[in-house]
């Protein structure tokens, strides 16, 4: 799955270009950098690869979400509807701009349930934020229709689905803005990094300033830049961008390998009638970073997880229902809520609701789901062996 699995001479070459000049910052020092502008090059490659008009690199996927929300005008008191299954960074970004995360159920797409989204809309709703989890996509037609009907923003958190598409459009380029994460375990890695993509020039200009202390970047002298608004320091470095520049040029190779290994593993797992698979709204657009599969009940699934653990083959198989980072059931720090600094009462009140609010529909999905990460390094023999071991474990549990 992650690009770091196929690290090589290409990444070293791009990084060495930067090290030889000693200019690690993406702005300024024009003469000393000897024509090396890795961040600018990577932004251009992102636009060309994914079909976005504009791309703004930042220091992380979390910073990308925060920057996008600020640029879209999402702030204090605004409600952002998001799924109960995601990575903690999704709600952290919402909180960082003073907005209120409104978590709703997922369905067997492992993404936002459109009916749950509709039910959660209030006069304070400003944005719907689908999170395209585990390589696949939300039902974007349904979510776009809801946004259009209610005049809402659509912000795509596509951090886990780089290279996936929906009806011919790359994820992250469909809404008002979209984000990728380029951290160490993403499909493309910069080591650390992220990007905001948008087709709206005004949104891009705001992102460009916001991630660099509000600089307008209109002059040739950075020290003389004007500051039309307050910004923060979410810049990416040239070293990180250099890594990403080599990685993005390998994306087609990564996706080809993932899809091949995904198809092979699925052909093995589907021999067990009790195993069903995640609903993918556009199967042709699945990036295949994971294969997510369901068993008939949470009890059976938990028993299979224990059997995989007992056999020493649980690694790479994720049971999100008991995962501290990805499902609301384990987000005690959010529900308490445990902050180091004082928060607005509206945020505190909403988060405390999650101590009593239940998510039975999501529990029914996530309690039965196991996601298996697809490695770029597997041989055909290794895929076969892995699949057969999983099948053996499942059959053993079913038989008992």
d(CA 74, CA 204): 15
The string of pLDDT tens digits covering residues 373-391 is 999 999 999 999 999 999 9
Which pair of tokens denotes residue 126?
Answer: 């400003």
pLDDT of residue 60: 98
Answering whether pTM is above 0.85, one says yes
Handedness of CA 44, 46, 49, 51 (dihedral sign): negative
> What is the percent of the chain with per-residue pLDDT over 70, rounded to a whole number?
100
pLDDT at 98 over 80: yes
The string of pLDDT tens digits covering residues 188-200 is 999 999 999 999 9
The string of pLDDT tens digits covering residues 323-353 is 999 999 999 999 999 999 999 999 999 999 9
CA–CA distance from 159 to each of 145, 186, 284, 345 (Å)?
23, 8, 19, 30
Task: Give me the phi and psi of 391, to 5 degrees please.
Answer: -60, -45
Domain 3-251 classification at class level: alpha beta
Domain ranges for the chain, please list them. Answer: 3-251, 252-399
Domain 252-399 classification at class level: alpha beta
The string of pLDDT tens digits covering residues 149-161 is 999 999 999 999 9
């Amino acid at each position: 799955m992650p690009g770091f699995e196929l690290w090589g001479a290409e990444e070293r070459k791009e990084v060495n270009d930067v090290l030889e000049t000693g200019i690690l910052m993406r702005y300024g020092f024009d003469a000393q950098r000897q024509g090396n502008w890795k961040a600018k090059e990577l932004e251009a490659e992102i636009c060309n690869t994914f079909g976005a008009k504009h791309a703004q690199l930042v220091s992380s996927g979390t910073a990308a979400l925060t920057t996008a929300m600020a640029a879209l005008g999402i702030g204090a008191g605004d409600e952002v509807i998001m799924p109960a299954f995601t990575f903690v960074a999704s709600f952290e970004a919402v909180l960082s701009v003073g907005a209120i995360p409104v978590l709703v159920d997922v369905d067997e797409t492992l993404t936002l349930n459109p009916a749950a989204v509709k039910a959660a809309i209030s006069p304070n709703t400003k944005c719907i934020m689908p999170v395209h989890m585990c390589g696949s996509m939300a039902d974007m037609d349904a979510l776009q229709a809801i946004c259009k009907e209610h005049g809402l923003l659509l912000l795509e958190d596509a951090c886990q689905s780089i290279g996936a598409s929906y009806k011919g459009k790359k994820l992250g380029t469909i809404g008002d803005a979209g984000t990728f994460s380029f951290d160490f375990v993403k499909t493309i890695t910069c080591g650390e990094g992220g990007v905001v993509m948008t087709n709206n020039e005004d949104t891009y200009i705001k992102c460009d300033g916001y991630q660099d202390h509000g600089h307008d970047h209109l002059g040739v002298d950075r020290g003389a830049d004007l500051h039309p608004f307050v910004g923060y320091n979410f810049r990416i470095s040239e070293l990180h961008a250099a890594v990403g520049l080599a990685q993005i040029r390998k994306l087609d190779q990564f996706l080809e390998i993932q899809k091949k290994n995904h198809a092979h593993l699925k052909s093995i797992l589907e021999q067990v009638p009790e195993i069903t698979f995640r609903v993918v709204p556009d199967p042709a657009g699945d990036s295949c970073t994971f294969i997510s599969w369901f068993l008939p009940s949470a009890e059976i699934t938990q028993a299979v997880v224990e059997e995989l653990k007992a056999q020493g083959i649980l690694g790479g198989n994720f049971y999100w229902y008991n995962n501290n980072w990805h499902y609301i059931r384990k987000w005690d720090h959010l529900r308490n809520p445990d902050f180091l600094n004082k928060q607005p009462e509206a945020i505190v009140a909403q988060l405390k609701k999650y101590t009593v609010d239940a998510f039975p529909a999501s529990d029914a999905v996530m309690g039965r789901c196991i996601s298996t990460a697809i490695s770029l390094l597997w041989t055909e023999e290794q895929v076969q062996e892995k699949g057969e071991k999983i099948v053996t474990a499942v059959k053993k549990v079913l038989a008992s």
